[in-house]
Structure 1
Amino acid sequence: MLAEVLHTLPQVLLDGLTLGTVYAIVALGYTMVYGILELINFAHGEIFMTGAFIGTAIFLTMAGFGWIGAMPAILTLILVLVASSIVTGVLGMGIERVAYRPLRKAPKLITLITAIGVSFLLQDIVRFITEFKKGNYIITAPSLFTDQVTIHTSSMLSVFNNAQMRSSSFILIMIAIVMMVALDFFVNRTRWGMAMRAVAQDRETAALMSVNVNKVISLTFFIGSALGGATGVLFAIQYGTIDPYIGFILGMKAFTAAVMGGIGNIRGAMVGGVLLGVIEMFASANLSVLTHGVLAAEYKDVFAFVILIIVLIFKPEGLFGKAVIEKV
């Protein structure tokens, strides 16, 4: 049994890292909004989905005009990422302004229900538009970066099999790392990042110190939504097929990653996303072996959530969170 697990370990780690970076960036949107508003923005998964559809629509439009083959693929990807990020960023700001800001002083449960309602609204809008234009809500994204690279891990240790990595996986990981490093720098090294941290710590005091709280919150939604939209484009390129419901389950897993890392902690969300992706891929590849066929790969989600429950039992604040002492 151990030998079978070790055989697939290099491939599991590569696939888990690829999926985990997607979870990590989407988790950043959840943790940024929660850190400032203490709001779980359950519509964030649908913003990710919207970004995937917007990016795919741009790709298909460019392919129709013959532009994709006329310019380098990486340049095409960058242009689509920028366009999708701007659109989803503005969408996130609009959702905050229309749906969340009027309820800022309302009970948290009302805002949570509103977020769930916005997520269903985005699902139905995207499905309606897609079916109206294409006649089907399941869309196949253009194939880019399909080259396969073999990583000869068997030459390192004979117990490992070689691993296969698509060039799209490498690009996804590299772009995700750039986005995460840029966000970390922005939050910790810039004046706007300082303002975001000040609002997260004490909104009323930050307002008294001449911080425009509404602008900071809008900027937070813009950045989180822009990152989510860009990740949706990368997801479409990597996995090929998208539908209006991909944001729901992926958003739930990204939220799980944010909680696992410590909700409100940006670096914790990054680590939690990667960790969850590796755990899920490990379960998908080895769950049948570990349970002697009792559980198949379809139970990988259960395995991941069980790990989350264990983490929360022994460390409720998450892996990187800090316990908060409530003053009475």
Structure 2
Amino acid sequence: MNLNAIFQFLTGMDLSTFFQHLANGISLGSLYALVAIGYTMVYGTLRLINFAHGDVFMMTTYFAFYGVSTFMLPWYVSFILAIILTAALGMLLEIGAYRPLRDAPKISIMISAIGASFLLENLAVVLFGGRPKAFPSVKLLTDSIQLGTVSIQKLTFVIPIVTIIFLVGLLYLINHTKTGMAMRAVAKDYETAGIMGVNVNKTISQTFAIGSMLAAVGGIMWGLKFPQIAPLMGVMPGLKAFIAAVIGGIGNIKGAVIGGFILGIGEILIVAFLPSLSGYRDAFAFVFLIVILLFKPTGITGEKIAEKV
């Protein structure tokens, strides 16, 4: 009896199908990781959960959609422009919704974040309409390749590679540049950092811009993988990315990536091995979050961040 037969006997699934599901899980986890990094960067800097982050992710898909469909831009130009516009939107969000309340009680800034989320969702409905739209298809990325008996979309391999590239670039920025040093100083204590000559407002805006850019890349990849966009499409991915950040350890970039991969792979494999639970796929994320909070509240990486008073 060969390995494939043994695996199929134990799991009811052959190895080629398992590896296809695993590839899809890694791809989905990479998307969660990209968005989760934005959550964890903002929290690490301001101790703020940016509840509008999922909606920033959603706005990217519309920027890219109209760039291609209305302005007839090449897809790569439209995607780059969408990332830039999303970074600007993130900075605008910080300046308009969060900066005026920086020294206010935490509950005030949290309410502002929720309000910003609803504003973006309803603004998208007014501007773009509530009817779902088809995201532009890029044949170069959406074509499938055959690996033995398994057919896998090229995008499934591209997404994790893109995630790793951005993660490495971000870690270099934070650990080896003056901008990263300023971000780390502001995250430690922005009042003291300001006294020491750090431009706190500029640094926080840069943090929002970078986090929004990562969400934008995730949004574009999401649109290519699941080519239907709508004003509320960012709600569930945003929640799951937040859960991924908490699972990995909120405030820790590497932890956010780890949490994203765990969540994405777990979702796909649970449905693969237990098809009868496919209707509870979204519930898995929340159940896992509860378990993590019960047994390891600081997340897998175990980084404990003290609240500022």
TM, length-normalised to structure 2: 0.90
Question: Matched residues in 1 for 2:167 and 2:190: separation?
Answer: 25
- 1:56 maps to 2:65: yes
Question: Matched residues in 2 for 1:276 and 1:51: separation?
Answer: 23
Within 5 Å, which residues of 2 pair with 1:121-200? 121-131=119-129, 137-144=131-138, 145-152=141-148, 162-200=149-187
* Amino acid of the structure 2 residue aligned with 1:140: A
Cα deviation, 1:39-79, whole Å, max 9, x if unaligned, reads 000000000000011111112236xx4x64xxxxxxx43x3
Change (3 A) 1:6 1:112: farther
Change (3 A) 1:256 1:326: closer
Residue of structure 1 aligned with 2:46, choices 33, 37, 41: 37
* Amino acid of the structure 1 residue aligned with 2:10: L
Change (3 A) 1:325 1:83: closer
| Runs of 4+ with >3 A deviation | 5-8, 323-328
Question: Matched residues in 2 for 1:163 and 1:314: separation?
Answer: 38
Partner SS state of residue 12, structure 2: helix
Cα deviation, 1:169-192, whole Å, max 9, x if unaligned, reads 222232222222111111111110
Question: Matched residues in 1 for 2:87 and 2:287: separation?
Answer: 33
Contact 1:262/1:268 (<8 A) preserved = yes
Change (3 A) 1:200 1:314: same
Change (3 A) 1:149 1:326: closer
Contact 2:135/2:228 (<8 A) preserved = yes
Within 5 Å, which residues of 2 pair with 1:1-328? 2-5=10-13, 7=15, 8-61=17-70, 65=72, 68=74, 76-77=75-76, 79-131=77-129, 137-144=131-138, 145-152=141-148, 162-288=149-275, 293=276, 296-323=277-304
Question: Matched residues in 2 for 1:174 and 1:102: separation?
Answer: 38
Question: Matched residues in 2 for 1:137 and 1:226: separation?
Answer: 26
Residue 34 of structure 1, CA deviation: 0.4
Partner SS state of residue 155, structure 2: helix
Question: Matched residues in 1 for 2:162 and 2:199: separation?
Answer: 31
Count, aligned residues: 298
Measured on the aligned residues, the alpha-carbon RMSD in Å equals 2.0
Q: Percent identity?
A: 44
Question: Matched residues in 2 for 1:43 and 1:227: separation?
Answer: 14
Question: Matched residues in 2 for 1:261 and 1:210: separation?
Answer: 32
Cα deviation, 1:223-253, whole Å, max 9, x if unaligned, reads 1111112221121112111111111111000
TM, length-normalised to structure 1: 0.85
Partner SS state of residue 234, structure 2: helix
Alignment match, 1:71: none
Change (3 A) 1:6 1:199: farther
Residue 6 of structure 1, CA deviation: 5.4
